[in-house]
């Protein structure tokens, strides 16, 4: 990607509460696209959240952090009214972040924020002139004060694009992407490190432990699958409020020695985890995109997914298998189909990697985003 043809490099502030706390699609996008923008000559800064009483578990080098309450293990998506507690956490950060940014707005040419509509509302109320670009990771955002339409530009990808446009909002499509030089087929020491044999079949799921990710169905499907395929492992990467419940379910199903809970894995170590697997699974009820799917495709893994929104579109051209949402029996059959057909896995994996190289690389997405920034900053 060429360097921007401007006298002074743009200074961009990325505001993402969760980047130092938990990693999901929104956090991956901000960290990766900012890295490629920096390669193109832009100056990049980060403003993130941190727990009140302990260090941030996933520090971003050089980031400014604001301490606000974070109930990491509170099952907000399972407790009646629990979403209000989660929203209060975010609003507290939005309030603190808006105060800080309002004082420092003159230092930046662009403010990019991952959702946080109340943050945008508060900045506009303070008459901050620096252009604000808001990235919406899903169309079901909560915007009680009407902050989303106040952003100077909206960006999104996947199913969010059309749904937002149907709401009358102008949205720029900045595709999610992957570093295909980092996520690639290669020899990995993951199996050796964890005592997994070369002939064991590994199904990998990278997802937060939240209800819509449906780990419950995945475990039921895997329990059925291992009856005929005992030399198999299910590797789960991620954290979240439903992890304890999922661990109990695995034990109750007699899968304690078959399911590995890795927790949060640092980004530099993730390519090795993918490279050791045989198939990437997605058991979600809904996905507006799914970064983990294209990371797996870049690593030449076939994808077994539910019909959950955007992921079936990613694998539609021969990169995976699609089964109905919530159907454990069909999911188990999908696992069996892939486990019993190494040639099919190889063919689907090669197709998926080629699709990523053609459609989902960071330099292309960063270049599109930079063009939007230059237009807003009138450079």
Q: Tens of pLDDT along 296-305?
A: 999 999 999 9
Looking at the domain assignment, is residue 21 inside a domain?
Answer: yes
Predicted pLDDT of residue 73: 75
Looking at the domain assignment, is residue 182 inside a domain?
Answer: no
- Report the C-alpha gap between 246 and 211 in whole angstroms: 10
Q: Do 263 and 170 share a domain, yes or no?
A: no
379 pLDDT tier (thresholds 50, 70, 90)? low
How many residues are recorded in the chain? 379
Q: Do 156 and 240 share a domain, yes or no?
A: no
What average pLDDT does range 337-365 have in this prediction?
Answer: 96
Q: How many domains is the chain partitioned into structurally?
A: 2
**Is residue 100 predicted with pLDDT exceeding 80?**
yes
* Residues 118/91, Cβ–Cβ less than 8 Å: yes
Task: Tell me the sheet residues that pair with 13.
Answer: 45, 111
Residue 302, domain extent = 190-359
**Is residue 84 predicted with pLDDT exceeding 50?**
yes
- List, for residues 286-297, the tens digit of each pLDDT value: 998 899 999 999
Q: Do 351 and 302 share a domain, yes or no?
A: yes
What average pLDDT does range 174-191 have in this prediction?
Answer: 95
49 pLDDT tier (thresholds 50, 70, 90)? very high
Q: Do 152 and 218 share a domain, yes or no?
A: no
What average pLDDT does range 14-27 have in this prediction?
Answer: 92
- List, for residues 196-234, the tens digit of each pLDDT value: 999 999 999 999 999 999 999 999 999 999 999 999 999
Looking at the domain assignment, is residue 115 inside a domain?
Answer: yes
Q: Do 55 and 45 share a domain, yes or no?
A: yes
Looking at the domain assignment, is residue 168 inside a domain?
Answer: yes
2 pLDDT tier (thresholds 50, 70, 90)? very low
What average pLDDT does range 295-317 have in this prediction?
Answer: 96
Q: Do 208 and 277 share a domain, yes or no?
A: yes
Q: Do 79 and 195 share a domain, yes or no?
A: no
Q: CATH no. for residue 64?
A: 3.40.50.2000
Q: Do 158 and 221 share a domain, yes or no?
A: no
Higher pLDDT pick, 236 / 163: 236
Tell me the percentage of the chain whose pLDDT exceeds 70. 98
- Mean pLDDT computed over every residue of the chain: 93
- Report the C-alpha gap between 272 and 276 in whole angstroms: 6
Q: Do 365 and 327 share a domain, yes or no?
A: no
Q: Do 73 and 140 share a domain, yes or no?
A: yes
Predicted pLDDT of residue 6: 42
Tell me the percentage of the chain whose pLDDT exceeds 90. 84
Predicted pLDDT of residue 4: 45
Looking at the domain assignment, is residue 224 inside a domain?
Answer: yes
Q: Give the Cα-Cα-Cα angle 82, 87, 92 (nearest 5 degrees).
A: 135
The DSSP code for 105 is G
Find tokens 């079901």 and name the residue: 140
**Is residue 140 predicted with pLDDT exceeding 90?**
no
Predicted pLDDT of residue 3: 46
**Is residue 7 predicted with pLDDT exceeding 50?**
no
Predicted pLDDT of residue 98: 98
Measured from the Cβ of residue 126, the count of other Cβ atoms closer than 10 Å reads 13
Looking at the domain assignment, is residue 279 inside a domain?
Answer: yes
Pick from 4-13, 206-215, 291-300, 313-322: least confident: 4-13
Q: Do 43 and 110 share a domain, yes or no?
A: yes
DSSP state string for 173-239: E----B-TTTSS----SHHHHTT--TTSEEEEEE--S-GGG-HHHHHHHHHHHHTT--SEEEEEE--
Looking at the domain assignment, is residue 5 inside a domain?
Answer: no
**Is residue 8 predicted with pLDDT exceeding 80?**
no
**Is residue 177 predicted with pLDDT exceeding 90?**
yes
Q: Do 198 and 347 share a domain, yes or no?
A: yes
Looking at the domain assignment, is residue 109 inside a domain?
Answer: yes
**Is residue 330 predicted with pLDDT exceeding 80?**
yes
């Amino acid at each position: 990607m060429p360097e921007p043809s401007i006298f002074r490099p743009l200074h961009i502030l990325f505001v993402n509460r969760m980047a130092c706390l938990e990693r999901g699609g929104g956090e991956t996008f901000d960290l990766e696209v900012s890295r490629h923008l920096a390669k193109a000559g832009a100056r990049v800064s980060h403003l993130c959240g941190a727990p009140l009483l302990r260090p941030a578990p996933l520090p971003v080098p050089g980031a400014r952090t604001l301490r606000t309450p974070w109930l990491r293990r509170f099952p907000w998506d399972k407790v009646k009214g629990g979403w209000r507690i989660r929203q209060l956490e975010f609003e507290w950060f939005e309030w603190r972040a808006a105060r800080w940014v309002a004082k420092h707005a003159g230092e930046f040419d662009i403010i990019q924020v991952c959702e946080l509509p109340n943050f945008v509302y508060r900045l506009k109320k303070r008459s901050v002139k620096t252009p604000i670009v808001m990235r919406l990771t899903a169309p079901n955002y909560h915007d009680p004060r009407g902050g989303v339409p106040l952003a100077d530009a909206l960006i999104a990808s996947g199913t969010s694009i059309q749904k937002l446009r149907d709401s009358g909002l102008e949205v720029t499509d900045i595709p999610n992407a992957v570093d295909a030089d980092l996520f690639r087929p290669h020899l990995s020491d993951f199996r050796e490190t964890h005592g997994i044999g070369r002939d064991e079949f590994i199904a990998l799921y990278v997802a937060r432990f939240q209800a819509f990710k449906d780990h419950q169905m995945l475990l039921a499907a895997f329990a059925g699958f291992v009856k005929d395929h005992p030399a198999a492992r299910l590797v789960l990467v991620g954290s979240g409020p439903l992890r304890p419940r999922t661990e109990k379910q695995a034990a109750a199903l007699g899968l304690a020695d078959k399911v590995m809970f890795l927790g949060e894995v640092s980004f530099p170590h993730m390519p090795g985890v993918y490279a050791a697997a045989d198939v990437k699974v997605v058991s979600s009820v809904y996905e507006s995109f799914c970064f983990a799917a294209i990371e797996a495709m870049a690593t030449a893994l076939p994808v077994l997914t539910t019909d959950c929104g955007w992921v079936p579109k990613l694998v539609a051209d021969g990169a995976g298998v699609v089964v109905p949402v919530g159907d454990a029996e069909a999911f188990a059959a999908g696992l069996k189909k892939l486990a019993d057909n190494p040639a099919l896995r190889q063919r689907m994996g090669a197709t998926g990697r080629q699709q990523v190289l053609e459609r989902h690389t960071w330099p292309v997405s960063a270049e599109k985003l930079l063009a939007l920034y230059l237009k807003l900053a009138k450079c």
